[in-house]
């Protein structure tokens, strides 16, 4: 199936005066939680009659009429396109050998300034494809909403030029929806307890943390980001109070800040027949099932796969019902872990099928080293499944210890194992924990509430922007609304 060319002009879907025109940008349609949030919001905006577009850094599926693909830098200009053709021809001649070396060589020849910057450890903000996105729309958007702008793991060169923030924020209200602290650091998406982001980075203790840099230019990266923000008119949204507190501590120069929690589709993720779900998925109906959901679990530095494996070994060595640890988001053959089994279910397409995995589980296990406000925790709660999770980031805003699950310290393998086994061995307690989790989602974390909060805010921003007094162009303040 061919992709829709990124140069295709997109027609608006509604001319009603009340309809908003919303352009979102995200790394990909099928990726981590931040990207999933963008896709789901996009679908909800359109379902409510608004004109919405979603610009993606990568897509391995045919683009919908309301989706745009951000062209990579090899497509922007005659010289890059010619060099890319030459590189691909050499690859064909070599049978694919030396691909990485060829790419490095041709990048240096085609984009020498970029190659030098990356060699020096500077973050790459030169993404010319992002400059063309607004030109693809027949009518300008009322609001720009940008998600996770660092997605280099999706594409070698990323997909967004951060220096665009200043110009774009003067064309329409610009909302940054942050899903991690990358905007505040000298390179990493999560500082993992490192305090240097507070004082300007430099002397970085771990240059390999995603997104990795080759040399320690983190202090220069930190200063450059802040110069960009100071020259822009930004509105900030975060899904958790924990992440917002980091932006407040950094005195992030936003016109307005709001905490808008992620929400679960409670009509899809709901309690159901566990045995029927297991039969549908081909899972053992007699063994206990511990569910883990994480994109690229075994290679993702934040998701704690080593802890998953160790807890599996301990559960397999303990008395009680035999256990399968089902890992969604990574694929491979099943692996023994003592008497337990690690089962890798791969990427799951469609919310209905994902809902079956939650319904099939006895407990949801989320051992992250770092996380902001994970959708998977909310979906497990919405499905009536008790949660055992590490008390990091915004997770304590979701899981109330002893009420709808249990919180444990990161790395405390004994507590992780004991709490998981406690849920498995006490089904009545597990049902009560799961029922309370469902109640919390219905009260505080429904997807419809998240959508409504954004749309009401966007309508306010449009009204201020279009007002004769140009009230939307006020100077940044520290106002926060929960």
Tens digit of pLDDT for each residue in 100-115? 888 889 889 999 998 8
Q: How many angstroms separate the CA atoms of 418 and 414, rounded?
A: 6
Confidence of residue 434 (pLDDT cuts 50, 70, 90): very high
Query: For position 151, what pLDDT does the model report?
Result: 66
| Average pLDDT of every residue of the chain | 90
Residues paired with residue 345 on neighbouring β-strands, in sequence order: 331
Closest CA relative to residue 148, chosen from 301, 39, 25: 25
pTM of the model: 0.90
Q: How many angstroms separate the CA atoms of 179 and 150, rounded?
A: 11
Closest CA relative to residue 87, chosen from 78, 77, 100: 100
Q: How many angstroms separate the CA atoms of 231 and 87, rounded?
A: 39
Q: For the residues 280-303, what does the mean pLDDT come to?
A: 93
Q: How many angstroms separate the CA atoms of 317 and 320, rounded?
A: 9
Regarding beta strands 67-69 and 51-58, do their DSSP bridges make them parallel or antiparallel, or are they unpaired?
parallel
Q: Classify residue 394 by its DSSP letter.
A: T
- 83-92, 184-193, 234-243, 368-377: range with lowest mean pLDDT: 83-92
Contact yes or no for 461/143 (Cβ under 8 A):
yes
Which domains are assigned to the chain?
21-70+127-263+457-481 (3.40.50), 274-444 (3.40.50.2000)
Q: How many angstroms separate the CA atoms of 199 and 76, rounded?
A: 37
Query: For position 249, what pLDDT does the model report?
Result: 97
Q: In this structure, what token pair is assigned to residue 464?
A: 């201020």
Which residues, 6+ apart, have CB-to-CB distance to 150 below 8 Å? Answer: 158, 182, 189, 211
Residue corresponding to tokens 């589709």 = 265
Query: For position 469, what pLDDT does the model report?
Result: 64
**Does residue 474 register a pLDDT over 70?**
no
Q: How many angstroms separate the CA atoms of 127 and 389, rounded?
A: 37
Q: How many angstroms separate the CA atoms of 42 and 52, rounded?
A: 6
């Amino acid at each position: 199936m061919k992709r829709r060319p990124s140069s295709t002009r997109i027609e608006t879907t509604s001319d009603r005066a009340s309809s908003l025109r919303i352009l979102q940008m995200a790394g990909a349609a099928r990726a981590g939680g931040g990207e999933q949030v963008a896709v789901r919001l996009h679908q909800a905006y359109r379902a409510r009659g608004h004109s919405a577009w979603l610009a993606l850094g990568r897509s391995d599926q045919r683009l919908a009429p309301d989706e745009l693909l951000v062209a990579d830098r090899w497509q922007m200009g005659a010289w890059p396109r010619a060099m890319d053709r030459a590189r691909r021809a050499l690859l064909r001649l070599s049978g694919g050998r030396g691909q990485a070396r060829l790419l490095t060589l041709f990048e240096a020849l085609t984009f020498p300034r970029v190659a030098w910057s990356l060699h020096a450890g500077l973050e790459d903000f030169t993404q010319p494809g992002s400059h063309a996105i607004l030109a693809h729309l027949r009518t300008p958007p009322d609001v720009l909403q940008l998600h996770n702008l660092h997605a280099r793991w999706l594409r070698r060169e990323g997909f967004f030029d951060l220096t665009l923030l200043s110009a774009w924020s003067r064309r329409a209200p610009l909302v940054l929806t942050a899903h991690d602290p990358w905007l505040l650091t000298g390179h990493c998406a999560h500082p993992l307890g490192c305090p240097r982001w507070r004082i300007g980075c430099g002397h970085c203790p771990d240059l390999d943390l995603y997104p990795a840099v080759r040399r320690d230019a983190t202090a220069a990266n930190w200063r450059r980001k802040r110069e960009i923000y100071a020259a822009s008119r930004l509105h900030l949204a975060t899904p958790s109070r924990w992440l917002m507190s980091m932006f407040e501590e950094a005195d992030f120069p936003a016109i307005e800040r709001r905490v808008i929690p992620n929400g679960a589709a409670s009509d899809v993720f709901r309690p159901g027949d566990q045995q029927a779900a297991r039969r549908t998925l081909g899972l053992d109906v007699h063994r206990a099932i511990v569910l883990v959901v994480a994109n690229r679990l075994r290679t993702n530095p934040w998701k704690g796969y080593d802890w998953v494996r160790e807890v599996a070994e301990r559960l397999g060595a303990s008395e009680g019902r035999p256990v399968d640890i089902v890992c969604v988001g990574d694929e491979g053959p099943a692996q023994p872990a003592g008497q337990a089994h690690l089962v890798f279910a791969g990427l799951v397409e469609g919310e209905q099928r994902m809902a079956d995995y939650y319904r099939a589980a006895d407990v949801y296990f989320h051992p992250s080293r770092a996380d902001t406000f994970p959708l998977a925790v909310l979906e497990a709660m919405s499905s009536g499944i008790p949660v055992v999770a590490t008390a990091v980031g915004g997770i304590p805003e979701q899981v109330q210890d002893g009420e709808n699950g249990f919180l444990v310290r990161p790395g405390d393998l004994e507590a992780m194992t004991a709490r998981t086994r406690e849920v498995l061995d006490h089904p009545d307690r597990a049902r009560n924990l799961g029922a309370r989790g469902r109640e919390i989602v219905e009260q505080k974390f429904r997807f419809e509430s998240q959508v409504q909060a954004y749309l009401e805010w966007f309508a306010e921003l449009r009204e201020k922007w279009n007002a004769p007094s140009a009230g939307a162009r006020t100077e940044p303040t520290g106002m926060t609304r929960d």
